[in-house]
Amino acid sequence: MKTFKYPLFGALLAIGLLLTQCSKDDDTPELVNEEEVINRVTFDVTADGSTTTYTWEEGATSFSLPLKANKAYEVAVSFFNATDPADVEAINPEVIEEADEHQVFYENSSSFVAIASVSSDNKDSAGNPLGLKTAWTTTAAGEAVVRLYLIHEPSTKSGTSRADFGGETDVQIDINVAVTE
């Protein structure tokens, strides 16, 4: 009987051959839907026929929307990949195209700012508003934090807190809302 001079080497070689022989032999490539980088979000705030754009950039220590009391606003949110400032990519077309797989949700505990969907908002295949366009109505002066979420693959499209929706958060932004008289 022949003995091996390097038994550990032989065992490792045998294990390696066994693993390669048992590997999946599938020529079908996996489809990978990589998550988008979202590092800029704009808010087009319209009131009285005038629109002001506010921009959140990733890494910002704070972000504020100044609003007036007793006023109605339409707010349109847009998502961007601004990794390359020379080639900023708009993410909204993909969010709209994949409307069934996305939801914009505003978590709002303020009593003086009400946020609701608008008829001009984009909708998914079931007719649910996507949340890219909303109506904000203020009642009194005060300060609040409204948290925006872009949710990927929500398990439901209704709820009163982020936890109700399931899915993954693509982006989360705290918006300091300052309502003045």
Report the alpha-carbon distance of residue 6 to residue 17 in Å, rounded: 17
Q: Per the confidence metrics, is the pTM higher than 0.75?
A: yes
pLDDT tens digits for 15-30? 444 444 444 444 444 4
Is residue 136 in some structural domain? yes
175-to-67, 94, 144 alpha-carbon distances in Å: 12, 24, 8
Q: Which two tokens stand for residue 106?
A: 């505003």
* CATH number, domain with residue 165: 2.60.40
Q: Is residue 15 part of a domain?
A: no
Residue type, 139: T
**Domain assignment of residue 56, yes or no:** yes
Domain membership of residue 30 (yes or no) is no
Question: Structural domain tally of the chain?
Answer: 1
pLDDT value, residue 36: 76
Q: Determine, yes or no, domain membership for 145.
A: yes
Residue 29 covered by a domain:
no
Span between the terminal Cα atoms of the chain, in Å? 97
- Please name the amino acid found at residue 25: D
Identify the pLDDT of residue 18: 44
Give the domain range for residue 161.
Answer: 40-180
Residue 17 placed within a domain:
no
Give me the pLDDT at residue 1, please. 52
What phi and psi, each to the nearest 5 degrees, are found at residue 98? Answer: -105, 45
User: Does a structural domain hold residue 14?
Assistant: no
Judging by DSSP bridges, how do beta strands 72-81 and 89-90 pair with one another?
Answer: antiparallel
pLDDT given for residue 3 in this prediction = 52
Q: What is the pLDDT of residue 7?
A: 52
Q: In the chain, which residue ranges form alpha helices assigned H by DSSP?
A: 7-21, 92-97, 162-165
What is residue 25's predicted lDDT score, i.e. its pLDDT? 47
Which residue numbers in the chain have pLDDT < 50? 4, 8-33
